[in-house]
Chain A
Amino acid sequence: MIPVLLIVIPLLSGCISFFLKNETTARLWALVSTLITLTVSVLGVTYFTSNPQWITDVEWIPSLGSRFSVAGDGMGKLLSMLTAVSFPIIFIATYKSSYQKANQFYAFMLLSQAGLMGVFLSIDALLFYFFWELALIPAYFLCSIWGGERRIPVTFKFFIYTFIASLLMLVAIIYMYSKTPDHSFALNSFYNVKLSYQEESWLFWLFFIAFAVKMPIFPFHTWQPDTYEQSPTATTMVLSGIMVKMGVFGMIRWLVPILPTATWAWGDTVSTLCIFGMIYASLIAIQQDDLKRLIAYSSIAHIGLMCLAIFATNEMSMQGVMIQMFNHGINIIGLWIVVELIERQFKTRKLSELGGLAQKAPVLAILLVVVSLANTALPLTNAFIGEFLMFSGIFSSVATKYNIVFAATAGISIILSAIYTLNMIQKVFYGNTNSITVAAKDIRLNEKMILGIIVIGILVIGVYPKPILEITQGTVESILSRMVTKQP
């Protein structure tokens, strides 16, 4: 019941939002709807945790053997909770932003939330694909209508990129489906498919490209910085906070356990791509002058690490990925909120045009420093837990011969991330004020509250990550039991 609610509430309220006339009403409606979703999700994770409450399985297209089956395992619960938490945060943080045709804006936002929930909760491949695309279409409209100057070509590139990749995945899904013993799209039937190594390899790459584009993994990342830069900030938060997790999630649920041999065999290749992308993205991030692009590239580096950890195939690395998916979502949304605040006040995102904000806006400065340090995985912050687990997992991995090389080179990217993050803090907050920043004001109460909540979340998870790790324990074990770490 709970998964259905999580999908249907945003879906319905999104559709209704198209018919709201007034901007204030639409905004309030969206906020209330996401708060209800959040309540359902929190209740589901804390109170109604039994299986029947988390599984719904009804007939959908019997002639194809596809069922509307949604269920939340640990990973599904965690990511649906991330989705449920993020949207109210995004709406409150951008509460003061005004949009043309606001009803449509909020409608598309809610629809994308529904799509995301569906992706994280469906355990039927066709249904998964359905929601996967459904999350994309609203994002396309959001970026194209409300984005920056170059929005149309940029968003189009983004769309074509992800659409081609998804279609490749569709081919893989259909192929898997034709091989299932009982002609069904259910995840469990996919587990039981026996394939030759050659088939597995082909399917592996078809799936991998779809997920790699979403995440994005080098060399499929070229759409990402442009899109993040051109999208309205609220959408960027959704894209980077939650939508990239679709890629990581998809890999863990639909790729690694289904095609274990190919995963093992191609693990080193993928890991090399990840490492290369991490270093490359970090180096570019150091050069960036635009805040949005800087954060976009830093996101590529962080996601690369997660992908690397998936292919390390052990419990620590997997748990690290799980908790880091949640953390990265929260942290990057925090960063975008700060960017939004800065941009709204000064009408610029250029590092070279900012400076000396710490004197004028001390609260903003403190909050930003905490969020950005969390982004570089400083101890006591949430990201430290995730990255520590991932690194020790990669280091002790037995699935690859190059575990030490991978861990060491990935470590370099952490150092690089410290460089660009500190550089950003310094350029924005310290130094002398200039003509643009001299009239700076500190942030308002609602912004303080939201950033405050994020910062508290960062610190709490940083000190006491156990509840989250417990949620995902079961998923990690069942996935690892299907993976292989040596030549079969």
Chain B
Amino acid sequence: MMFSGIISKRSSVIRYIAIAGLTILLACNILELGGTRFFNFDVHKMLVFDSFGLLFNSIALASTLIFVLLSGRDMEKVGVHVAEYYALIFFILCGVSVASSFNTLLMLFLGIEIISIPLYILTGSDKRNLKSNEASLKYFLMGAFSTGLMLMGIALIYGAQGNFMIGYGAKTLSPLMSAGLLLLLFSMAFKVSAAPFHFWTPDVYDGAPTVFTSFMATVVKAAAFIAFIRLFSGSFGNVQPQWQLMVALITAATLLVGNITAVFQQSVKRMLAYSSIAQAGFMMFALVALNNKASEGLIFYTAAYCLATIGVFAILIKMKDYTFEGFNGLAKTHPVLAGTNAIFLLSLAGIPATAGFMAKFYMLSAAVDDGHVLWLVILGVVCAAISVYYYFRVIQAMYFKEGEAQEIETTPAFRGLLIGIAIIVIVLGIFPQWLIDNLYYFIPDL
């Protein structure tokens, strides 16, 4: 991918190559999920490609494909090094697939780092923009720090159990092990922007070019979650009672911080940044509960969340004015954009008949099944209600307020694709079974 820039100077060719590459990857992945084996590397059990990881990879690839199709053109406006942007995104995807199928802590570390380093670059890719540079530096410093914590944690766990494999399932917590667990918990919480490790998120999301924010907030965050739950269910599943309360508290803090702060935002982009923290809070439910339903739910949640968020961002990129007022009267001038945006926002808010509802439903019912954290469920519900406030502000602006017509150029393909995503969001909301079934199609265990 990196060298495609040498072959052609025209950015459209690069985009088509990227799309073709993604399509091939996606097709391979889905076939693999269906049981077809392509290559058989000996990975010394460092990586395990089970249906959970593969299904997530398919979701991540599909989301990226949609992302490139929708926002590829806008990516080209960020700067001149278009081929590099695509290359970095492919690196990230490589990291994503490592992070979703790791079986040793080393691979986890590698995966997370392969994801992070290209992201630092992408954040700062708008070189002439001070905010973008600031965001990049901030992200890098904080990210490096959390990486340090993670390495430290891995080292301690190595000390405790004598190897890097996950799935040994410590029966009791030795002091070394618990220190390692805490460090890993904190560093992963940082990667998924859970409170109180979320402070980088709004600034980085706001400062980064909007196209890359979209990617960062969806595929990358989802991958970090998948790694998170893989790590904790594999390594620390047996000692869940010891850390459950701590994770529950982090979840509660994340929900509260994300939702309440999002209410006060004036810019839709910043609102989405906080909303992504809030959504992370909901995904944390899976970790708190850590049962079968939770992993089903997390896969579903990532799909629902990625689709809707990519859609909202794709529309946001087209807007010139990122404030809520910028959306005034959009329904009159651009009914398709407004209509699909409304569906995405409804999905993010978790209204029935959209994928977002089913996702939230899975999370809540996983937590209720667990039985220890009913207070968290009630809190989650209250926060979901708060989230309606800020998501609906955009809908109100689009539909019920008058505004000046903005010049927004969209191609019919763009609109068609948006409608397509909106339909997928609704279909997933009504028939969630289609996605969930795939999880058990190939290998029935996590």
A131 CB, nearest partner CB in chain B, Å: 8
Given known contacts A63-B433, A134-B353, A152-B400, A171 and B385 CB-to-CB distance under 8 angstroms? no
Interface residues of A in 166-182 (CB under 8 A from B): 167-168, 170-171, 174-175, 177-178
| B382, CB-defined interface residue at 8 Å | yes
Q: Are B399 and A167 interface neighbours, CB within 8 A?
A: no
Q: Please pick, from B352, B364, B369, B400, the residue contacting A130 in the complex, using a CB distance under 8 A.
A: B352
Q: Which of B369, B399, B432, B436 contacts A145 (CB 8 A)?
A: B399
Cβ of B400 and Cβ of A174 under 8 Å apart? no
> Which B residues are CB-close (under 8 A) to A145?
399-400
Binary contact readout B333-367 vs A (1 if CB under 8 angstroms, 0 otherwise): 00000000000001000011100010001001100
A144: which B residues are within 8 A, CB to CB? Answer: 396, 399-400
| B384 contacts A by Cβ under 8 Å | yes
Cβ A160 vs Cβ B365 within 8 A: no
Q: Separation in Å of the B343 CB from the closest CB of chain A? A: 11
Minimum C-beta distance from A251 to chain B (A): 20
Least CB separation from A151: chain B residue:
B400
**B:128-154 near A, CB below 8 Å:** none
Q: For the side of the interface on A, what is the size category?
A: 20 to 34
Q: Does A463 contact B (CB under 8 A)?
A: no
**Alpha-carbon gap, A174 to B384, bound state (A):** 16
Classify the interface of chain A: helix, strand, loop or mixed: helix
Residues from chain B with a CB closer than 8 A to the CB of A141 are 399
Q: Is A160 a contact partner of B389 (Cβ separation < 8 A)? A: yes
CB pairs A–B below 8 angstroms (19 shown): A60-B433, A63-B436, A134-B352, A137-B351, A144-B396, A145-B400, A152-B396, A156-B392, A159-B392, A164-B381, A170-B364, A170-B381, A171-B364, A171-B368, A171-B377, A174-B368, A177-B368, A178-B365, A178-B371
User: A133: CB under 8 A from chain B?
Assistant: yes
List CB contacts (< 8 Å) of A129-163 with chain B: 129-130, 133-134, 137, 141, 144-145, 151-152, 156, 159-160, 163
Q: Contact: B399 with A160, CB < 8 Å? A: no
Tell me which of A145, A159, A178 has the highest count of chain B C-beta atoms within 10 A of its own C-beta.
Answer: A178
With A and B bound together, what is the CA distance between A27 and B352 in angstroms? Answer: 28
Write the chain B residue with the least CB distance to A177. B365
Apart from the given pairs A130-B352, A164-B381, 5 other A-B contacts in the complex at a CB distance below 8 Å: A61-B433, A63-B436, A145-B399, A171-B381, A178-B371
The 6 A-B residue pairs whose C-beta atoms are closest, nearest first, are A133-B352, A164-B385, A167-B381, A174-B365, A130-B352, A174-B368
A170-B364, A174-B365 known; A61-B432 Cβ under 8 A: yes
User: Nearest Cβ distance between residue A324 and chain B, in whole angstroms?
Assistant: 29
Select from chain A the residue with minimum beta-carbon distance to B437. A63
Task: Determine if A163 and B385 form an interchain contact, defined as CB atoms under 8 angstroms apart.
Answer: yes
A144 vs B331: C-alpha distance in the bound complex, in angstroms?
A: 13
A175 CA / B389 CA spacing, docked (Å): 26
Residues in B with CB closer than 8 Å to A488 are: none
**Per-residue interface assignment for chain B, residues 364 to 405, with 1 indicating a CB less than 8 Å from any chain A CB and 0 otherwise:** 110011010010011001101100110010001001110000
* Residue numbers in A under 8 Å from B32 (CB-CB): none
Residues of chain A within 8 A of B382, CB atoms compared = 164, 167
Q: Would you call A170 and B385 a contact (CB within 8 A)?
A: no
In the complex, what residues of B have CB within 8 A of residue A60's CB? 431, 433
The interface centre, meaning the residue of B351, B353, B381, B436 with most chain A CB atoms within 10 A of its CB, is B381
A43 to B396, CA, bound (A): 41
**Are B381 and A168 closer than 8 Å at their CB atoms?**
yes
Assess A133 versus B351: contact at CB under 8 Å? Given A61-B433, A145-B399: yes
Give A61's nearest chain B residue, CB to CB.
B433
The minimal Cβ–Cβ distance linking A433 to chain B, given in whole angstroms, is 38
Collect the chain B residues with CB atoms within 8 Å of residue A170's CB: 361, 364, 381
Smallest CB gap from B378: residue in A: A171
* Set of chain A residues within 8 Å of B433, measured between Cβ atoms: 60-63
B353 pairs with A130, CB closer than 8 A: yes
Q: Min CB distance, B363 to chain A, in Å?
A: 10
